[in-house]
Amino acid sequence: MEEHNKLQPEFRVLVLLASIGFFMQALDTTIIFTALPAIAESLNENPLDIHGVVIGYVLAVAGGIPLSGWLADKFGLRNTYFAAILIFTAASLGCGFSHNLNQLIGFRILQGFGGALLMPVARLSLLKIVPRTQFVSAISTMNISGLIGPLIGPALGGWIVKSTTWHWVFWVNVPIGLIGLFFTLKVMPNIIEEKVKPFDLSGFILLLITMVGIVLGIEMASSPEFSTSLIISLLVASICAALTYAYHAHLHEQALFRADLFKNRLFTIGILGNLFARLGGNSLPFLLPLMLQIGFGIEPLMAGLMMTPLVLGSLFSKPITRPIIQSLGYRRFLIINSVLVGLCIASFSLTSIETPIWFRALHFFIFGILNSLQFVAMNSLTLSELSAQQASSGNSFLSIIMMLSMSVGIALAGTLLNVFMDVYAHSASIDAFHSTLLCLGAINIITAFIFSKISNRSE
């Protein structure tokens, strides 16, 4: 039986192809963090003001997720996956050739849209082609590539900046993408669904307005270039779009995410918890390399290597997550762990240039464990009581919330950082970083209140 479940040779190339897309998307999310100061210097920008390069990418990923499954069903797996890799690769080339910040952000948004299609369509191709008996093995193999990307991304970004120029942080995707394009044409069948329901374009636009309005409103809050009325208008438009979508989801059968999805109490609590509890954890891979380089004067390669224990901590947590949750129950575990993650985020404010490397590595490792435990517990709680009919829609909405939370978290971290820079009159950048970390840690601790609403029967 075990031999029967192993991945057969005829499916290995397809799994390798899916892994290429997964790897490209996972790598590109993290490789840029250590390169931001070098990019800012090259483009004559303040390194604290270019987080739009990250936010634009992540927000585009969030926005493109609802489209991925529909495009694959409508135009076929091979055509959609080929287009995804082509867009991602061409946009990566454009990022490297950008001469100013606006060009770079524009190509990053295009790159993010390609990235939004890569992972869902790769997973869908395995689901539709690989036999059920070998599906778990195929997904596990593909997931390894998704872990390698974040593991090597920060250090690779630092090494590229030190050895060549920041442009290669994006151009490294080009040869990988060309290989992916070749194999897509060779091995992936173009499976098209006969009946595809109409795409909910109006709901999609409302969701985009909601996400873009929130993120832009927060990002603009610390910039004197934008008026208070514009910022308030964006946030109000975002709230109005969200309320309109709630009404739309209640009335329309073809809505992307039906209103009855949120009648499930655990799903609603899990979504709210994911949104707020990820703000700090998702912003730290952006914030910490900046603090190490700008605040402590550590070179990019070393700053990238210092982020590796964070990913190793995440890997270490995988086998212990289920036993801990089973022992404590979701409610107790998420309350305790939310506080621990918040305290750990805040404790980064106690570090200084004199902090020994071994202690910093241990600190990052512990945070990686706690953060991964939090994410896995929140995800499994959110989806735990959904019906088979709701599972796909619920999982897609959760994926959007995860990306939205990352965008908001980085925008919030950048805004807080700029506000505290003004408070300290740019004379104490370390204090600005430390104050930002304290605020983000406090948000995570407060999030424990959301998880306290989990009923005891879910223990």
* Last-in-domain residue among 196, 231, 246: 196
Residues 390, 402: Cα–Cα separation, whole Å = 18
Residues 182 and 304 both lie in one domain? no
Residues 281 and 415 both lie in one domain? yes
According to the model, what pLDDT value does residue 458 have? 54
Most confident of 187-201, 290-304, 435-449: 435-449
Residues 354 and 218 both lie in one domain? no
Rounded average pLDDT over 312-323: 87
Residues 192 and 207 both lie in one domain? no
DSSP per residue, 306-361: HTHHHHHHHHHHHHHHHHHHHHH-HHHHHHHHHHHHHHHHHHGGG--TTS-HHHHH
Residue 459: both structure tokens together: 């223990």
Residue 3 confidence (pLDDT) above 50: no
pLDDT, one tens digit per residue, over 343-374 is 999 999 998 888 898 999 999 999 999 998 99
According to the model, what pLDDT value does residue 18 have? 82
Rounded average pLDDT over 157-162: 90
Residue 268 confidence (pLDDT) above 60: yes
Residues 9 and 43 both lie in one domain? yes
Q: Which residue has the higher pLDDT, 205 or 21?
A: 205
User: What b/e readout covers 168-207, taking b as 16+ CB neighbours within 10 angstroms?
Assistant: bbbbbbbebbeebbebbeebbeeeeeeeeeebbeebbebb
Residues 186 and 216 both lie in one domain? no
Residues 210 and 159 both lie in one domain? no
Residue 178 confidence (pLDDT) above 90: yes
According to the model, what pLDDT value does residue 69 have? 82
According to the model, what pLDDT value does residue 5 have? 54
The residue among 308, 428, 251 whose CA lies nearest residue 33 is: 308
Residues 73 and 16 both lie in one domain? yes
Instruction: List the domain range (segments joined by +) for residue 234.
Output: 201-255
Residues 305 and 224 both lie in one domain? no
Return the CATH number at 325: 1.20.1250.20
* C-alpha distance from residue 338 to each of 261, 323, 362, 409 (Å): 25, 18, 20, 16
- Enumerate residues 6+ apart whose C-beta is below 8 A from 99: 43
Determine how many CB atoms are found less than 10 A away from the CB of residue 137.
Answer: 16
| Number of domain units in the chain | 3
Determine contact, residues 403/209, Cβ cutoff 8 Å: no
Residues 176 and 230 both lie in one domain? no
